[in-house]
Chains A and B, each alone.
Chain A
Amino acid sequence: MIKLLGAICCVCLSLTALSAADGKYLHLTLDVVKGSGDDPMFVIFLENKKGFVKTLYWFSRDDKWFEDLTLWEKKRKKAGYKTWKDEPGIDAVIGPTIAWGKSKSCKIPIQQGKINILDGTYRMRIEQRKDKGGHYKNFKLPLKTTFKGGTLENNGYIKKIEIKVKEASKTKDVVKK
């Protein structure tokens, strides 16, 4: 009986350890302003003082227009990725386009391989573009070690962006429509 209890405890501890390994993540909700014509594209990427680190999320599946996000394109190429497909794991972070006046969420793991995006050396960039419309490139969010999330309103095509730091094991977050 004691052995059985011990085994159960071991399993529970292992599961707990696995959950802890999942770590925290950023839950990002992006509300888009009301607009007209083609829906805008958004790319969220990470950079440090040396330059581009990795793409965190894409809100557009129309990949033939990806290169129109020239800031991301330029920084990514400088980092050695000739085409957007060259960046490892990018397929996993491409989500649907957000229509005018709509909202979508995504989750961004804080620990991504060897990168801890909250170790104080990174900042989040968001580039926004609409075909023959605006092109906003100067959203720069320093991700400090004390980062606890927050909201920001009225930045280009973003009506409101809300970022929360969450525990991965507590909620099931998927891109919501």
Chain B
Amino acid sequence: MKYVQLAFLLTLGILCLNAADDLEIRWVSVYQDESRNLATVDPGSKIKIMCLIKGGEAPFTIYREDKRLGQTTKRTIRVAVRAKSENGSYPVNISVTDAGQRKSITTAYYHVGEQPKPEEPAEPEDTGTLLLSGSPDDDDDWGDDDEDEEDVVDEYLEKGTTVYPWTDYQNRTIMNTMLPSAVAIGDGNWYYRILHVARERIDDEPLTNFIGLDDSVKIGFQVAYGFTENSDLLFQRTNGRALQVNFNRADPTKMDYYDFIFRYQFLKQRNGSFADAAIHVGPTIMDRNFSSAEQSMNAGIIFERNVMKDRLRLGLGVAYASLSTYENTIGKGPATKLTPDEYDALTAIGAPVPDEEDEHTLAIPLMFKYALSKKQQIFGEIIVPIDGYETTAGPSMLMGYRINGNTHEYSVYLSNTGNPSYNGTITGGHDYDQINLFGFTISAFF
């Protein structure tokens, strides 16, 4: 009988709620002894908030809370009628959902109808709570001007995520030196990067060739734009190699790389996921003198996770290029990998060509980043080719130092590959145990 009564009352309550949808303003009063953030309240603790709730179907949205909590941010709550009415009010259960987990449950009284009149405010004291405009106890009508806008809430604050001074900088690298990271740039944001990496080893002529940067430098210009909070498009142009595949031409034949990478971030660690994770896909177009081109279809998935209080960020993934490439470091390492187009051109003029190589490469990228301080990091990246073409001289490797500014990011590094294009970085390095190519990047966020 009890259950029948409860079911009846539940239905009645829901009906009452539905009937009350016509009302534009409703109030929920919840009481708590001390001022705390609602999202971090332990189950069972008493809270006190005065909420103005918009009508409509659950979940309702609180857009104004009591002065004691001092929050004017949006929160989504679920409201359900649980028992019979008491004195014109409906006891309800309120659960606050934070990062997909129910953080607090408490009973509140759901008043249908007019806003309950607050108690007469006591004379403010030195140690009292500051009474903000718009709070239920404020009797001063400022007519809240038209210039008022919604607050833009801080995700970390909103979700109650623990952060450290270096967390933001650990998470904001959207492009690791060789491959994209697992973090999208964010809606409407722009990113620019210029990368220089020498093809001359620093131990050849460290002083006279300015640690390899005087000549034979690979330069990557990159720009990225965030279309949504979780998706962006990265474009990078890298100068390619000069191959004499057509001896009848007076000008050298040049090939440049154009990377187009679409990325979608589908996991965020700060939202409670195990790690940040993103997939990326897109072509690298290898253009020769704007007359002929070949393309590689690239795809990958990257996972990155902060550990040790966000000090250490570790990354792991898979990267694939349907037509990989490799350009030899000057004077050392495996020979340049020819593309089918180059084979054809060289064969046509009777030039000697090496045995044809596998066209694709599948690799495992690994990375780490360690925060030395709020803005400084050391980082390392390794990409191990596991299938298809590889240089047979070990994985691509680099290690470097990065410093972050307000809008810029600067890094210097040593590497064993001078191939910055997507399908060139994953094929391996020029040597197992030497990282002697100097490179640097300058990035800007807007």
Contacts and interface: CB of A to CB of B under 8 A. Distances in A.
Nearest to B134: A140
A16 interface: no
Contacts of A157: 154, 157
Given A142-B138, A148-B124, A152-B129, A35 B147 contact: no
B297 to A, nearest CB: 33
A56 to B, nearest CB: 15
Contacts of A37: 165, 167-169, 172
B159 to A, nearest CB: 12
Interface of A: 33-38, 49, 51, 62, 65, 71, 74-75, 100, 123, 130-142, 144, 146-158, 161, 163-165
A49 B149 contact: no
A36 B167 contact: yes
A5 to B, nearest CB: 39
Interface in B130-167: 130-134, 138, 140, 142-143, 145, 147-149, 151-157, 163-167
6 contacts: A133-B156, A134-B157, A138-B134, A140-B132, A150-B128, A154-B70
A35 B156 contact: yes
A157 B125 CA distance: 24
Contacts, number: 129
Contact of B130 (A33, A38, A150, A154): A150
B143 A49 contact: yes
A71 B69 CA distance: 23
A118 B37 CA distance: 30
Contacts of A133: 154-156, 168
Interface of B: 35-37, 67, 69-72, 123-134, 138, 140, 142-143, 145, 147-149, 151-157, 163-169, 172, 186, 189, 310, 406-407, 445
Contacts of B140: 142, 144
Contacts of A161: 130
A131 B71 CA distance: 20
A134 B149 CA distance: 13
Q: Which 9 residue pairs spanning A and B have beta carbons closest together? A: A37-B168, A134-B154, A140-B133, A36-B167, A36-B163, A135-B152, A36-B168, A152-B130, A155-B70
A163 B130 contact: yes
B138 A33 contact: no
B149 A156 contact: no
Contacts of A148: 124-126, 128
A161 B127 CA distance: 11
A151 B154 CA distance: 22
A136 B152 CA distance: 6
A38 B167 CA distance: 10
B142 to A, nearest CB: 7
Given A148-B125, A161-B130, 11 more contacts: A36-B163, A36-B165, A36-B169, A71-B149, A138-B134, A138-B148, A148-B128, A150-B130, A153-B35, A155-B70, A163-B130
Contacts of A139: 132
Given A35-B156, A134-B151, A141-B132, A164 B186 contact: no
